[in-house]
Structure 1
Amino acid sequence: MKVTLKQLEILHAIIMAGSISQATRMVGLSQPTLSQQLAKFEETLGTQLIVRGRSSNVKLTAAGEYWFRNASQILNSVDKAEQQHKILFAERNLTLSFGTTPSLRGRFTEVAARCASEIEQIARFEMVWGTTSSDVVEMINTHKLNCGIVSLGSIEPFRSSFHIEHLWTDPIAWTLPADIPDKIIESILATGALPASSPKALSRYVDLTEELIWSEWSENWFRHRLPFATPFFGCMALPTAVDIVAAGLATCHTPVSLISNLPESVRSRIKIVELGEYRRDVVLVTPKHLMSLKPFKAFCDKMTSYTRVAYGNSADLPKKADSALSIANLLSRD
């Protein structure tokens, strides 16, 4: 019996992705090839690792659980050894890859680049965007990224593998075209009915990707609070959703921290209502094994320090758009 590193990578990718089909993009192999490689691994071990069934979701056998745990430990050790080699012997040849999403980027491009440039062992810094926090976590788990800023909900299945630094709590707000009168907004939130002669934008909303951790909450909110609205638009990126709202075509939900990072041409055409119903926790994460390497720890410490000062708590987010409204204030008006 001879287990290869490639076999461990394939098993690890399948489990992290949740299915063989989803693992294809993580390892760059076709689905038939992945299935063949998994079958060869099982043949080598003389035991079944994954239960095949009608469901596409992965279900591990006891042997599968055992080899997945070992695969995680071995791959992390190899990753750490490679990074340590670069630090010790490659003479300033360390590449640091940092990832986040468009809705969380804030001023992180500039700050992350500056933090990386101040660390002597880092020779190259890569900034990578994921469509969702789950995409960023997937890239960290497959060693394509060293660290990232994501929503806490996206790392729940992998908490034990990560070093986690809480950065701020981000309220989710209802975002509308700026020309919609406050009295109409007040009436809708109080009654759940669409007043006569209301702008058509109120009858449509942007349906967010299912991969977004809070997309289900958003869908339920529109279903119960705005039952007259239909999910006419769909998109994966939150800035794109806000662009649709700014065009006066629909409404959507938006993290408050995103607003101040939008172009003025967009901010001036929207208003937000802070609902006080849902918040996401934003965290910086890196694999635990990398925190024992000084360059990665130094980078994470610098990023955490900056973000906590700049973002503080939910009351001190990068200053919200001037058009931000409080639902409590709206509903308390005469």
Structure 2
Amino acid sequence: MFTLRQLAVFQALVHAGSMTRAAKQLGVSQPALSQQLAKLEKSLGVKLFERAGNELRLTEAGRVLARKAEEILTAGDELEAAMRAFAEGRRARVAVGALASAARMLLPRALELARREIPELAVDVHELAPGEMIDQLYARTLHIAVLAESSVARDHLTFARRDLCADGYVLAVPPDLDLDAVRHPERDLPPERLAVLRRVIEFNFGTPHRQRVLEWYRRHVGRVETVACVRQYETALALVEAGHGTALVPLGAAANRERPLFDVRLYAVPEMERRLVALFPSQYGRLRPWSVLLDALQEAGRTLHLPPARLPPPFLRHPCWPEARTATTQPVAYGLEKSME
């Protein structure tokens, strides 16, 4: 007879597509993983994967099991959660994965709201990249992941989702780079100031994000030079504050609620925004304490207040620039103002 652990290993292999990646997800060695798979195949009497080098491809029997395994594992999770709640009373601990900026924006308020209903609630916060969060959801080491909608493919996920909030992107520039009246950077900025504007701090968020950011820069400022590539918005903003270049970041990454975190100028970028969502196994939307924290995250997102950004500089809305927007439409989560001085 197979075990739930063996089914969880099977699901991790289906998602990962290789022994190497699945072993990393589950935190076990490849030999131990192979042994669990062999036991499952032996107990079922069928082969579940065909191996092609390091890749795994489902057999017909594997595809049948894949359709049913998630239902069985979900039922097992619900039963375990119910028994844990019965044994522990109202004590509860929820594992949350989040981008660092999203955790700072939403978790303080969400935990305050959730603990009004469950005073003993505690959260284990894991600041992770989106791909790492997805892997840990599949490995069942995270209960909830808070990440940007654009970083996940809807058709590849089996998780439930709740929309949390949206915050507009801003162009972060050093405090002494004044773009308020700049209509054409090459004509209106001194060479040394134009060089700073064109020095880009990029992010290790994957090729699509990188291409989108570089395309935006090329469209609006022309030729650019990458001076740094980082994983955290906060690192990028510290480099901008020190005068090393500029960066496109969500407004929420540059602020702690209504307080700016860095001495930088933040110019609104009307055509870009980040939408934050919560992903979770569907049963957690029905069971306490996870459902309570999910409700609290949504409320924290709904009532989120961020500091004002400057109006887009003229060259971002000048009609000679392709696809430029005017400042007549207010972006999501912006409180626009002409000056922050």
Give me the TM-score of the superposition, normalised by structure 1.
Answer: 0.80
CA distance in 2, matches of 1:93, 1:74: 26
> How far off is 1:84 after superposition?
0.7
Residue 289 of structure 2 aligns with an amino acid whose one-letter code is P
Corresponding residue number in structure 1 for 2:324: none
Aligned length: 319
* SS of residue paired to 1:326: coil
SS, match of residue 124 in structure 2: strand
Partner of 2:308: 320
Give the structure 2 partner of residue 259 of structure 1. 254
Q: CA contact under 8 A between 1:95 and 1:126: conserved in structure 2?
A: yes
For the 8 Å contact 1:131–1:236, the answer to whether it is kept is no
Question: What is the distance in 1 between the residues matched to 2:17 and 2:313?
Answer: 39
Supply the distance in 1 between the matched residues of 2:226 and 2:16 (Cα, whole angstroms): 28
Which deviations, in whole Å up to 9, do the C-alpha atoms of 1:78-131 show, x marking residues without a partner?
Answer: 2211111122232233322233211212443322332342234x7441231333
> SS at the partner of 2:102?
coil
C-alpha separation between the residues in 2 aligned to 1:14 and 1:227?
Answer: 45
Offset, 1:242: 1.4
Q: CA deviation at 1:255?
A: 0.8
1:141-188 per-position Cα deviation (integer Å, ceiling 9, x unaligned)? 3322222322223262455431x3222222222222121131796423
**Which of residues 232, 241, 245 is equivalent to 1:237?**
232
Equivalent residues in 2 for 1:1-334 (5 A)?
2-42=1-41, 44-53=43-52, 59-120=57-118, 123-153=120-150, 154=152, 156-157=154-155, 159-162=157-160, 164-182=161-179, 186-188=183-185, 196-198=191-193, 200-211=195-206, 214-261=209-256, 266-268=261-263, 270-308=264-302, 310-311=303-304, 317-321=305-309, 324-327=310-313, 331-332=317-318
Identity %: 22
CA shift, 1:26, in A, is 1.9
Give the TM-score taking structure 2 as reference length.
0.78
**Residues 294, 203 of structure 1: alpha-carbon distance in 2 compared, 3 angstrom cutoff:** closer
Secondary structure at the residue paired with 1:111?
helix
SS in 2 for 1:182: coil
SS of equivalent to 1:118:
helix
Q: Which amino acid aligns with 1:206?
A: I
Q: CA RMSD in A?
A: 3.4
The offset of 1:264, in angstroms, is 6.6
